[in-house]
A and B are shown apart, each in its own frame.
Chain A
């Protein structure tokens, strides 16, 4: 199953764009990328899920780990371009209380 990540770094923040099914293994790839960015000093992250239509609760559990990691660094992580179903699932699992959810990348970046 194809899963791609595209990372873009700016002066004070980084954007990770996902493409494909976000499950356990692809969630681990996302977490590894986030950890690398944190190690480079990026504690403000935007995760853009525009190209991810399917997700499962294992993938989301790994996203929770990323949120916890960012919070430990006193950083911030925002999500954007979620489908309505992914957005609802984030809300059910409580992520919406700990990370910003925005309709597009511009809005997520301007709220970092």
Chain B
């Protein structure tokens, strides 16, 4: 078995309420082991939660299961999330921010995932969907700059 294979974790979850937290918890443990910072871990967890609930809600898979492969590399964590549902066309997926006025309630999943991860690709057919997401570790100097940039000044509403 190769070294790379030894750095893979596969989790298969059934589609039932809140089980996405098992995937998020696994992501937390692996990302913490890889020394990702707290903010990056939160981003990975949100991306994996959104991907899972998208599959739960829309895949119509008969086996009602989602497979999640975590691949740990030196400077990045790759996640491959697969369902065996009916698939979808990513460029025709509902986009919540497609120019409509006012607060849109649903259809934000893909946009949130793309915002949280460094790379996102989608392969989908009538036999299922695989969403591949990569989160890269950033250097300590860049991490500090990003961390400072994300702080909200006290008493300032975020608009």
Q: Which residues of B contact A (CB under 8 A)?
A: 17-18, 20-21, 24, 39, 42-43, 45-46, 49-50, 53, 96-97, 103-106, 108-109, 111-112, 115-116, 150-152, 154-155, 157-159
Contacts and interface: CB of A to CB of B under 8 A. Distances in A.
Interface string A95-111: 11110111110010011
10 contacts: A21-B21, A56-B50, A61-B105, A78-B157, A85-B39, A85-B116, A92-B111, A92-B112, A96-B158, A101-B157
Nearest to A96: B158
B158 A101 contact: yes
B18 A23 contact: yes
Contacts of A110: 155
A59 to B, nearest CB: 10
A64 B106 CA distance: 10
A5 interface: no
B27 to A, nearest CB: 11
Interface of A: 1, 21, 23, 25, 53-58, 60-61, 64-65, 67-68, 78, 83-85, 87-98, 100-104, 107, 110-111
